[in-house]
Amino acid sequence: MISQARAAGVGALITVGTTTADSLASAQLAGRHPEVWSTAGVHPLHALDPRDWDQMRRAGAHPRCVAWGELGLDRHYPSPTQEEQRPVLEEQLALVARWNDELGAKPVVVHCRRAVADLLPVLASSGLPRDRFVFHCFTEGPDEARAVLDFGAWISFTGVVTFRSAPEVQRAAMLVPMDRLMCETDAPYLAPEPVRGTRPCTPAMVMHVARHLAVLRNVPWEDFERTVDANACRFFGLPEGCGR
């Protein structure tokens, strides 16, 4: 997959933690491949899974770990309930704030599905810098995008923005300032047009997302690619030019 990504023009990949155990595994994987970085966090849909916060701290301390998360709230599925998700989120944010002081500050990758109004106050109460949150895999509409942008966070889009069935996501994508915009795959899910339905989605396919966004926003491809590469490097603290 790394070779495929490189051949497609993608030079850097971030593998995202969803449990404390796989956060540590992700950091170890990143340590074996110079093109790969990692994050450390507990996904809200894993709120009931066994967790070991020491594993997450060790993952976050790894030199290849560039962010916390993904963490947040998800209202799409009935389980775990919001009452089960929220304590894990609040505890996690408190630990992130402490570990940022101990290990050096890292940004936060946010998972938010149908929960913007509930989630923003929780993030605000964490005391973490608002411009260090990115709402990844954004699948909401313009109103939610405005709320996230007014809060001060970044927004990142996946293959969903290429779907004809998601015009509200495309309208949201038009609102995001270029200096707070990123694109991604959410691999192995959400393969973009024109390869929608492909399983698994792979990191190389992010080029379809990026080209769609460039056309949607009427930005020349070279300018768009240069900007989103620079945005990712700046947000995650990656070496300049590593995405090329």
- The per-residue pLDDT for 244 is 64
Residues 185, 94 share a domain: no
Please indicate, yes or no, if residue 242 is contained in any of the structural domains.
Answer: no
Show Cβ contacts of residue 144 under 8 Å, excluding neighbours closer than 6 positions.
116, 172
* Chosen domain end from 85, 102, 119: 102
Please indicate, yes or no, if residue 4 is contained in any of the structural domains.
Answer: yes
Residues 145, 228 share a domain: yes
Residues 94, 176 share a domain: no
- The per-residue pLDDT for 243 is 61
Tell me how far apart the alpha carbons of residues 33 and 184 are, in angstroms, rounded to a whole number.
19
> 95: domain CATH number?
3.20.20.140
How many folded domains does the chain comprise? 2
Which residues does the chain have with pLDDT short of 70? 241, 243-244
The pair of structure tokens assigned to 162 is: 């290429």
Please indicate, yes or no, if residue 116 is contained in any of the structural domains.
Answer: no
Residues 135, 78 share a domain: no
Tell me how far apart the alpha carbons of residues 30 and 40 are, in angstroms, rounded to a whole number.
12
Residue 156: domain span: 129-236
One-letter-per-residue 3-state SS of the chain? CHHHHHHHCCCCEEECCCCHHHHHHHHHHHCCCCCEEEEECCCHHHCCCCCCHHHHHHHHHCCCEEEEEEEEEECCCCCCCHHHHHHHHHHHHHHHHHHHHHHCCCCEEEEEECCHHHHHHHHHHCCCCHHHEEECCCCCCHHHHHHHHHHCCEEEECHHHHCCCCHHHHHHHHHCCHHHEEECCCCCCCCCCCCCCCCCCCHHHHHHHHHHHHHHCCCCHHHHHHHHHHHHHHHHCCCCCCCC
Show Cβ contacts of residue 186 under 8 Å, excluding neighbours closer than 6 positions.
136, 137, 158, 159, 201
Tell me how far apart the alpha carbons of residues 177 and 180 are, in angstroms, rounded to a whole number.
5
Residues 140, 56 share a domain: no
- The per-residue pLDDT for 240 is 76
Residues 77, 16 share a domain: yes
Q: Which amino acid is at 124?
A: A
Structural contact between residues 158 and 182, judged by C-beta atoms closer than 8 angstroms:
no
